[in-house]
Amino acid sequence: MADQKSFPSIPTSHWQNLRTQFKKSIPGSITTNYLASILNMSEASAGGNILPGLRNIGLIDSDNKTNQEMAKKFRDDSAYPQLCQEIIKKNYPQELIDAFPDKDSNKDRVKTWFMNHTGSGESAATKLSNFYMTLLDADPAPFTAVKTGSTARKDTNKPKKEKTKDKKNPDEVKSSPQQNHEQANQSQNPSPNDKRNAPDLNINIQIHISSDASPDQIKSIFENMAKYLYKN
C-alpha cells in the first residue's frame, strides 16, 4: 500500500479482549458504549483510542457496522494468523514490512521507524509499534486473562506443580486392636523392669527386743521380717 502518516493503534490487551468477546458473540455494530462496557473504559477513551483503529483495519465501517467476514476470521484461532498478515499488508508500507517482517524484529527499531515516519513522539510511536508487533506475533492465544490490561503471556512449557503428599514415617504404623489391648494391659500391670520408673519408698522400722528374749525368739523375729517385709 502507499505510505501514510496515520496507522492503527490499538492496545494489545484491548485487542485480545475483543477477540475473547467475539468468540462469545459477534456484535452487529461496535459503539463506544459497547467498547466501554467490555473493556472497562470510558466512552470518550473508547471513541478516541479504539474506534479509529478498528476503522483503519476495516473491522468496522464509517457507520460502526461490523465487517462480519473479518470478524469471523478475527475470532477463529486457525484463521487469525492469516488475518494479521492481511491487516499488515493493507495498513503498512512495504518499506516497513521489508525492514521488520517477523515477530523477532527489533522492537526499539520498529518504534524508531514510526517516530521518523510519522513525526510522533516516543509515547505515540510506542503504541504504534506495539500493535504492529502484535500483528507480527499473530499468536491466537498469547494472554491468559480476559481482564482489561492483563498482558501475562501463557507459559505452555512450564510444568505443573504436583501436589506433594505428606510422607508418613515408616515407623508410624497404625496399631491393631490387639496391640492396643496389650499396651493397655502393660500400662495397668507394669513389668518388673518398669519398676525403675516407680517412686522410691523408704520405711524405717524400730524393733524393741526384750532383754530376756531367747536366741530362738530373736532369730524368729528377723526371719519373719525377711519373709514379710523383704519377700520381693
CA distance 5 to 66: 25
Q: What is the pLDDT of residue 231?
A: 59
Q: What is the pLDDT of residue 144?
A: 44
Using the predicted structure, report yes or no on whether residue 149 has a pLDDT greater than 70: no
Average pLDDT over residues 208-224: 75
Q: DSSP code of 197?
A: G
Residue 60 has phi, psi (to 5 degrees) of -135, 155
Q: What is the pLDDT of residue 125?
A: 96
Residues across the chain: 232
Amino acid at 217: Q
Average pLDDT score over the chain: 80
Q: What is the pLDDT of residue 146?
A: 40
Going from the C-alpha of 48 to that of each of 51, 81, 122, the distances in angstroms are 7, 27, 19
| Dihedral in degrees, nearest 10, Cα atoms 39, 44, 48, 53 | 30
The closest alpha carbon to 80, from 14, 39, 29, 137, belongs to 137
Using the predicted structure, report yes or no on whether residue 165 has a pLDDT greater than 80: no
- Which range (40-44, 88-92, 150-154) has the least confidence? 150-154
Q: What is the pLDDT of residue 44?
A: 95
Residue 91 and residue 57 in contact, taking contact as beta carbons nearer than 8 Å? yes
Q: For cell 491468559, what's the residue?
A: 144
CA distance 117 to 115: 6
